[in-house]
Chain A
């Protein structure tokens, strides 16, 4: 039988996965070079949802730039807003009130939780379990309600303005957040019962899509995907911003580097996020919710860079100013783009069905890649 298999001549062929494919989570086209069902090469083709956000920023004032970043990584939009605001505040040499720092940190962590909940649901669905999708969205609904009450929107919140927050937190914010934590602490073990221990799930993720630490560093992979390979790259620890320097949390590191490790890293991050919120929610300092800024913000000429940790990895905002009310140039270093570049390395030698699992654990958001 083996002899026959050796004698059959196989031919490499191409197949397009996407741009409209249910498991690419958006309009991403992957050109696969296949030998049978084995992947020889993956070439991602981008640009299907390119909206030239960086160019649009050049005509907008600094207050207006913030709302465009909602549309990049829509699952971590508060953190994107925060990145732009931190960069502008850096340029203005503006110290924001303590209250703002703490509220920003709490909402950032809530955003991270809601993003990971959605990722968990969608990951299960990619691997054939509809149940997880509904369960993930059930718990995410409580967070979107908190956002809706405080920020005014469920997804594109635009809650940050350079210098602080758009409005103060809603009086119900603390109570609702505590209720959510109490609820989610009971529900997160359910996630483990449904997916982590499931035999089909573990068979499809353990040992699949290996990424070594060296490759993670050389491809610029960041976030939970890189920390699952043992690359310590948490910006919250390395370069603390907002109130991260005053909270106690662990940086999640795994060394296996496969899909299952990336899955575990995100689940463990959810516990850490809850720990951060718990430490801060009762200690929101009194004070102003916004530092005083001029109506027209002009940054002094120069270059400003700030990086933050989004649910997907490291987001960098680079602004060049020439003393006008619009930025001269804005560049976003988005985590999704760099993470996607390692896909080829991870998927080679595995089957098409494994590629779906690998893409899920990279947690790609296509508007973040294309911008």
Chain B
């Protein structure tokens, strides 16, 4: 009888003690606001910078003369597991040799199908594409996610084969 009464009170004591142990931890963070790591996301949009390897979306690199390095070899199209990249190629006459060669007409990128696996970037023999560090991809219509990556009027850099 006495044992059970003793157990009753020791249970209450241990229970209250364990609750206060936990509350001590949470109380520590109330009194030390410097240790809080929460980021206020939409407000810090201007200062928020992604890491350089972060995979946001595929972009075709253009230089200041509106030239890119894509030869239209379709290596990225073959490497892609989901059919995300579609290259529509065109024929042009090489100015130096006079032979017909393949150039890209449109580089279609379906962002909605992309799994960001980075295999296209690894496959590219001329390093023409890269992953951009963008992160807000939501749009109002699905068709906006299908993008043409080569800018209008752009052409291939000289010397890239």
Contact = CB atoms under 8 A, between A and B. Distances in A.
B51 A148 contact: yes
B81 A68 contact: yes
A190 B25 contact: yes
A367 to B, nearest CB: 14
Nearest to A154: B54
Interface in A189-223: 190, 193-195, 197-199
Interface string B11-22: 100110011011
B115 A67 contact: yes
Given A67-B117, A131-B26, A156-B115, A193 B21 contact: yes
Contacts of B25: 190, 193-194
Interface in A131-152: 131, 138, 141, 148-152
Nearest to A150: B53
A152 B14 contact: no
A152 B18 contact: no
B53 to A, nearest CB: 4
A111 interface: no
Contact of A156 (B22, B37, B116): B116
Contacts, number: 68
Nearest to B133: A152
A91 B100 CA distance: 43
Given A197-B18, A199-B14, A63 B118 contact: no
B54 A197 contact: no
Contact of A198 (B22, B79, B122): B22
Given A60-B81, A68-B81, A198-B22, A152 B119 contact: no
- Residue of A68, A150, A152, A156 with highest tally of chain B CB at under 10 A: A152
A158 B53 contact: no
Contacts of A273: none
Contacts of A198: 18-19, 21-22
A152 B15 contact: no
A64 interface: yes
B18 to A, nearest CB: 5
B122 to A, nearest CB: 7
Given A60-B81, A64-B117, 8 more contacts: A156-B115, A156-B116, A158-B117, A158-B118, A167-B53, A170-B51, A193-B21, A198-B21
